[in-house]
Amino acid sequence: MSDAVAKTFKLGGDLEVNRLGYGAMRITGTGVWGPPKDPESAKAVLKRAVELGVNFIDTADSYGPQVSEQLIGQALSPYAPGVVIATKAGLTRQGPNKWLPVGRTEYLRQQVELSLRALKLERIDLWQLHRIDPKVPVEESLGEIAKLQKEGKIRHVGLSEVKPHEIDQARKVIEIVSVQNQYNIGDRKHEDVVNYCEQNNIAFIPWFPVAAGKLARPGGKLDQAAKNHNATVGQLSLAWLLHRSPVMLPIPGTSSIEHLEENVKAADITLSDAEWKEIEASA
């Protein structure tokens, strides 16, 4: 890829978003459970994100559960033109840091209705199956989502934590416009999925985008490059993702306005291909 990095991406070919988004998992309580300590400051972060030009916000019904979606609905509705809210369903909560997949059709339909209500939307722009339920054929889960799409309640559909053969399987049932997997400069086990998404013009949404691990150590390649560019290691980790592929939509999350502003600036950092190659080699 050349040094010039595209600033936007068209989800599903028709929803143009700025590629650096915001992940709304961190605006909940400890263990992604219950409300945040300060709901007003969580809403202020969401409002500031939109002011800064972030128009792709990713959440899930299980964040809280429902806390994140409700805060987004309260803070941002009625939504500014062009703001895309993506949500997910298919993981249930049994307590702090506990997550179990449920992909039964009646459950997914119920969760879509609840998401619409919490987010104060008539249609979800991007709905994602949070996990494929090993007990329910994916064709069954997504068959119900296809009905909801026909009913006008969902615009586009994505998947989370999947491999290429699972994306192929899902695409036989419904058009898939995005995939959300764990991925960052220090953890690239889903390289095959990134390549698959790029070949098929499917958005790749990396969660846990700034965990650079050993690369971030003081004196390491990433640390040196950050100092050279007057940036933080976190900013550089995000800039690398934007450089890595034009279909990449990083969604760093934070509950602090200061950290949010720092993250957003990552979109303006440019390194040469040679500099990136050196960082990648050290990974």
CATH number at residue 173: 3.20.20.100
The average confidence (pLDDT) of the chain is 95
pLDDT at residue 179, rounded to an integer: 98
In a domain, 106, yes or no: yes
pLDDT at residue 281, rounded to an integer: 84
Cα–Cα distance, 153 to 124 (Å, whole number): 6
pLDDT at residue 212, rounded to an integer: 61
Q: What is the per-residue pLDDT across 81-105, written as a single tens digit (0 to 9) for each?
A: 999 999 999 999 999 999 999 999 9
Is 183 a known active-site residue?
no
Number of H helices, E strands in the chain: 10, 11
This prediction's pTM: 0.96
Q: What is the per-residue pLDDT across 125-180, written as a single tens digit (0 to 9) for each?
A: 999 999 999 999 999 999 999 999 999 999 999 999 999 999 999 999 999 999 99
Q: Give phi and psi for 98, each to the nearest 5.
A: -110, 135
In a domain, 218, yes or no: no
In a domain, 173, yes or no: yes
Cα–Cα distance, 193 to 207 (Å, whole number): 13
pLDDT at residue 62, rounded to an integer: 98
**Active-site residue (options: 63, 79, 183, 196):** 63
Highest mean pLDDT among 98-107, 208-217, 223-232: 98-107
Question: What per-residue string of b and e applies to 43-79 under the rule 16 or more CB within 10 Å gives b?
Answer: bebbebbbebebbbbbbbbbbbbbbbbbbbbebbeeb
Report strand pairing: 98-101 vs 8-11: unpaired
pLDDT at residue 29, rounded to an integer: 97
pLDDT at residue 186, rounded to an integer: 87
**Which whole number is the average pLDDT over 175-190?**
95
In a domain, 58, yes or no: yes
Full residue range of the structural domain in which residue 61 is found: 8-210+242-254
In a domain, 43, yes or no: yes
In a domain, 135, yes or no: yes
Is a pLDDT exceeding 60 seen at residue 3? no
pLDDT at residue 282, rounded to an integer: 79
pLDDT at residue 235, rounded to an integer: 94
In a domain, 261, yes or no: no
pLDDT at residue 2, rounded to an integer: 41
Instruction: Report how many domains make up the chain.
Output: 1
In a domain, 264, yes or no: no
**Which whole number is the average pLDDT over 65-69?**
98
Indicate the pLDDT class of residue 220, thresholds 50, 70 and 90: confident
**Which whole number is the average pLDDT over 49-75?**
98
Task: Single out the residue of 125, 115, 118, 71 nearest to residue 89, CA to CA.
Answer: 115
Work out whether the CA dihedral 267, 269, 270, 273 comes out positive or negative: negative
pLDDT at residue 1, rounded to an integer: 38
**Which whole number is the average pLDDT over 48-62?**
98
Residues 6+ apart with CB under 8 A from 191: none
Indicate the pLDDT class of residue 218, thresholds 50, 70 and 90: confident
Nearest 5°: CA angle at 90, between 87 and 93?
100
